[in-house]
Each structure stands twice: as structure tokens, then as C-alpha cells.
Structure 1
Amino acid sequence: MPVSILKPEKGRLLIAEPSILNDSSFKRTIVLLTEHTQKSSVGFIMNRPLQYSLNDLVPDINCDFTVYQGGPVEQDNLYFIHKIPELLPNSIEVNDGIYWGGNFECLKEHLNNNTVKPSDIRFFLGYSGWDTNQLDDELKTNSWFVSQNVYPNIFAINNETLWKNQLLKRGGEYRIWANAPSDVQMN
């Protein structure tokens, strides 16, 4: 059964192809696209938790939510996507109930008051970005494939199995790669 080829769009997922296993920035990653225009694309790696909590980076926030590596661009900046726009003025809708950014002072207050759950939000250091035609070129060279975001709550997914499960759903030779060790030299 042939696999349908989706185009990148806001809210869709970019799944790293097994062919980029030597790319330390994107090996075995899933990127949620938060912006896709003819000029650029922006997204965040959803399955690469860091060893930092939010409180490690912003000491006046009493919150130990995990921070993720969003991508190789601007890794000294903190970003967030969420599903609580009613609590965060100036949020930008990505699609299907997922929002990007918003008023950080309001967010700090809600985090310190424990009115936000980890399943409501995800924090990132850096982002993944592509200039004009760069993502299209990477798709043509089979660095990525595009998938619908079918997760009812992408913030509550299992980071350990996200990439593997996407490959298993794709089927065929992807099943072999899904079950390969993280370091294929160890096989």
C-alpha cells in the first residue's frame, strides 16, 4: 500500500527519516511545525528532553517542568507551546487547540500558583528553523516525512517511543529502522 505524501503545514509533524542518523541535531526526532510559509518554517523538537527543569533556567518560577531541546537555532532562548490560551493573552494559534507563546508574566503567575499542568504546556530551549525552500529541499532528499498530528494531547506523549511509533505506523522497511538500536554501530 503506497504511503500518501503530505505537504508541510502548521500543526503537522516532521519525522526524521532513518537516513539522517548521523545528524546530531535531528537524529530520531519529531518536530511540530508551528509556522510554515513560503519564506520560512519554524518548529520544535517534541521528543528530546533536556536535563533542565524550568526552575533551573528561570529561578523565580517555582516549577520543575522538563525543558526540551527545541532545535539548533537560538538555544539560549526559552520558548513554549501550550493548550491554555484562555490563561495566556497574546497566544498565537498553531492549529487544533495548540498555541505558541503568550504573555510570559501571566504564565509565571499561573506556574507559581500551580494552575498549569505539564500536560498543558511544553518548554524549549531553541527552535528548529528553515529558510525559503530549505525544508522543501530536505523533504526532496528524504531527510523528513510529514505526518498529521493525530495525538489528542501532544504534550502528554511518550518521548521514548514517539519516533519509533511513527516509523512503525509507516510500515515496510521503516519497521526495521524503528526497532534498530539508537547507536546502529552497537547492532
Structure 2
Amino acid sequence: MTPDAQSGRAVDLAAGRLLLATPGLLDPNFVDTVVLLLDVTDDGALGVVLNRPTALPVAEVLGEWGDVVEEPEVLFQGGPVATDGALAVALAAPGGEDAAGFRAVWGRLGLLDLDTPRELVIGTVDRLRIFAGYAGWGAGQLEAEVAEGSWYVVPGLVDDVFGDRTRDLRRDVLRRQPGDLAFHATRPVDPGLN
């Protein structure tokens, strides 16, 4: 458990949690982002940015996978690490958690190996989104960033991962949070101008 700078309460950094960039996070790679955590261990953490679609259609880069991905059928900028690689986040069909090439990380949500023949995937995956690159943190780095107030840590929903309202995702996620955190959904970029 990591102390949250805003509330002082302990937060659980685990797969399925969302990191919402706070206004104090000025790194251009993460300003106004929503990051889905996919793996958190003592050695570090890995996630993907959910609200940065690119204009590049998946079909142009990964051929037939373009027919399988969720709308919009484009690659998403998953983060600044390994941007020449792709991570496929999928929602397994009920009973498909043990399908070839699928590794569950949070309930039925998991990572799909894109080297798996597409024929083996059809019917085992309900939803799919592909990310170019990922966000990564070394041991203790994410915990330190949360403690200093760079991230709000909140529970995620499957619809956050696959929704088509990526432009409004950060605001939508903040709005559904309890207490004072919901007020940040309408916070101006510079409160001093209010």
C-alpha cells in the first residue's frame, strides 16, 4: 500500500487500477492521461495510456488484426517505452481466459500475444485494443510518484479500456469518484484564472 498525497489514505497499486495524471504532473508523456496498470510487482510497474489514440489504423501496421480491434480501429499511444512494439489488451469471452495466447491480468482482462494465429483467437476474445509502447516504472518509482501527488489512483472498469469516449475519459473517470476527487473533473488547467 502506498500513501496518497491528496488524502493520506493508503492506495492499492495493482493490475486493473487506473492512474489519472494530476495537474501537477507536467511530463508531456503523461499530461491529462489515464493509465491502466497491467502489472505491479516489487520490481516495478507496467501500464498503458488509454486516452491517446493515434491516427494510424491498426490494419496498416498489423494487417488482419485491424478487423478484430475495438472502434476506433487505430493504434493507441500506450506510453513512451518501446514505442516500436505493440501490446494487445483483450477482454476474454466467458470461458476464454485459458485460450491460446491470452494471459489474464485482471478478471477477464488480459494481454493477447499477437503472434497467436488469428483463427485461434476468434471466439475467445470479446474486445481488443492495441497499444504502441507502454508506460513503465522501476522499483519504487510509481509509489514515489503517487506519494508526491503526481497520480490519482482509482478503480478501473472494463468500459474505461474499450470505450469510444477517449477524449473525455479522464473527466468521466474523475466524475464517478466519491468525495472531493469528483470535483477535479471540472477543475480548470490554471485555477488562478478562475
Which residues of 2 match residues 18-167 of structure 1 at below 5 A?
18-20=23-25, 22-59=26-63, 61=65, 63=67, 65-84=73-92, 86=96, 88-102=99-113, 104-107=115-118, 109=119, 120-151=127-158, 154-167=161-174
Higher strand share: 2
- Aligned residue pairs total 180
Deviation, structure 1 residue 101: 2.2
Please give the TM-score of this superposition, normalised by the length of structure 2: 0.77
CA 37–26 in structure 1, closer or farther in 2 if over 3 Å, else same: same
- Point out where structure 1 has 5 or more consecutive residues left out of the alignment: none
Amino acid paired to 2:101: N
Contact 2:36 2:161 in 1 (8 A): no
In the alignment, what sits opposite 2:16?
Answer: 11
Residues 28 and 163 of structure 1 are in contact (CA less than 8 Å); yes or no, is this contact kept in structure 2? yes
Separation in structure 2 between the aligned mates of residue 28 and residue 171 of structure 1, nearest angstrom: 20
Between the aligned partners of 2:33 and 2:57, the Cα distance in structure 1 is: 20
Equivalent residue of 2:20, what SS?
A: strand
Give the C-alpha shift of residue 78 in structure 1: 1.2
Change (3 A) 1:128 1:79: same
Letter in 2 for 1:121: L
SS at match of 1:165: helix
Which structure 2 segments of 5+ residues have no match? 1-6
Equivalent-residue separation in structure 1 for 2:8 and 2:142 (angstroms): 20
Identity %: 25
- CA deviation string 1:38-74 (max 9, x = no partner): 1010001111101111112124655372210100000
